[in-house]
Structures are given as structure tokens and as C-alpha cells.
Amino acid sequence: STSLAIARTIRNPWSIALEEFSRGQLLMQGIPVTANAPAIGKKLSEIVLPPSARVATVEGASGACIAGADTAIHEGDLVTLIGETKTFDAVRKLFNKEKEKRQNVVILGETSTAVWLCRALKSRIFSVRLFVQHHSRAEELAEKLDRVTILEADPTDSATFADEHIDKVDVFIGVTEDDEQNILACAQAKALGAATAIAVVQRTKYLRLFAHVGIDHAFSPRAVAVKVILNLIDFGPIRSVATFADDIAEAYEIR
């Protein structure tokens, strides 16, 4: 669960809320409307969407609104799009023509979370390097993980940092079993130039510290697990799963 939560954060190129429903079969994401997008200047009634895709809200210069047939799309708007995962990217291109940039990701740790995260990022848009500190584990993971570069080294070591250009990575993630090591490694990477730093910590008391040391995102496996369990044991017929567009709209799961 933690690895999937981190992967969702990394996959979202605009840092705008992304939610998954129906075990990953549906996505909901805020999409900025970019210049030259096919939808610009058209009403929603004039835009051909697949039956499985809907625009829920549109946020523009005049504020946010629930999308309707007469809602027009303008450059700079933010549309909340809901659709099937398999067709989501094609629909997104109607509103945003920017290509997803290949992301350089560095992961520190040889935990099961690190392994699952590598698998979750198994895509050509990610270049993943995994740093481990034990030779036997490095050999084991080299056989298990495709499209992942396994390095037996400490990326926080100054020489390694320079050799591997850690200061130029898009995302640095600390997922060792040591909270302090994750925090220090992420803080160092961020301070020296990493675009985004993500730390995993077991003790939730550390979560309040991250904003002060420059770490962009923090995940607690315990907190993630609690959220998953609460969803599983919520047997009510109607359950709120997300809010969006400045809270003017809310998504519900109806059983």
C-alpha cells in the first residue's frame, strides 16, 4: 500500500490530486489545460469523450463549477477528469498536450517497500536506480527486478553523490528501515538539488518535521494501512472517497 501511494505521487506530473477507484480501474485527476489543446474554445457538448470518461468540474478565472454541456474550456483552466485507466492518457491529451518527461528516480533501501516501488514504477517514463548496502541483497534484487539499476553503495556519501549526479535527480526516495537515515538522506538530496524528496517513516511523530527540512512528501506505512483498513471495514452503502475543486464537489462510492 505504501509503495502504491508513493507511485501515485510520482506518476502525477502536475502534483494535482490523483485518486484511484475500483482497484485501479478508474482514475480521477486534475488536468491543467495547456496551449494548443484540442478542447480549447469548445463546449463540453462539442468534445467527443469515450463513454467511460467524464469531466466532473472546471476551475477557471471565474472560479470552479460543476461541468455541464455548455461549459467552455479555456487555456489555463483546471479540469477534473474521471475515466478508465486504460483510456485515461488518450482523454488527457484532449486537454493537455504536454508529453510526460522521463523521470530520473533514485531509491535508497532494500526493503520490501523498495522492491514493490520499483515494480510499480516499471515504465519507460521512469529511469530507476536502487541503492542497497549489502552485496547478497544487491545480487538477489538484480535478478528479480527488470529495468532497474542496482547499485551497492550509499548515495548520501559525498563521492557517490557526485559520481551518480544525485543532485540532478527528479525524485529521491528514502525507504530504508531506519527513519533517521531516510530523513537525513532526503534532506541532503533536497538541499543539494534533487527536485523532489520523499521519505518513509515508521514513527508518525516525525511527520511534522518534514516541512522544516525541505522534504516534499512523507509516508507512514501505519497511516496508509489504517486508511486501507478503514475503507475495507466501512460497510455503509454510501462512502465519501474524495473531494475536489475547492470542495464544491465530492466523489462517493455507492454499494
State the DSSP string of the chain: -HHHHHHHHHH-TT---EEEETTTTEEEEEEEPPTT-TTTT-BGGGS---TT-EEEEEEETTEEEE--TT-B--TT-EEEEEEEHHHHHHHHTTT--PPPPPEEEEEE--SHHHHHHHHHT-STTEEEEEEES-HHHHHHHHHH-SSEEEEES-TTSHHHHHHTTGGG-SEEEE-SS-HHHHHHHHHHHHHTT-SEEEEE-S-GGGGGGHHHHT--EEE-HHHHHHHHHHHHH---SEEEEEEETTTTEEEEEE-
Report residue 37 as a C-alpha cell. 489543446
In the chain, list all ranges with CATH 3.40.50.720: 103-219
Per CATH, which fold does 2-92 belong to? Alpha-Beta Plaits (3.30.70)
Cβ burial of 138 (10 Å; 0-12, 13-18, 19+) is middle
What pLDDT is stored for residue 15 in this prediction? Answer: 46
Closest residue by Cα to residue 45 from 55, 30, 35, 34: 55
The pLDDT of residue 227: 62
Predicted confidence at residue 160, as pLDDT, reads 84
Q: Report the top-level CATH class of 103-219.
A: alpha beta
Answer whether 33's CB lies under 8 Å from 39's CB.
yes
Question: Where, residue-wise, is CATH 3.30.70.1450 in the chain?
Answer: 2-92
pLDDT tens, residue order, the chain (255 aa): 788 778 878 876 554 555 666 666 778 888 889 998 999 999 999 999 988 899 989 998 888 899 999 999 999 999 988 888 888 888 889 999 877 778 999 999 999 999 999 998 887 789 999 999 899 999 999 999 988 999 998 777 878 888 888 889 999 999 999 988 999 899 989 988 999 999 998 887 676 677 677 888 888 877 666 665 666 566 667 666 666 666 677 777 777
Backbone angles phi, psi at 84, to 5 degrees: -65, 140
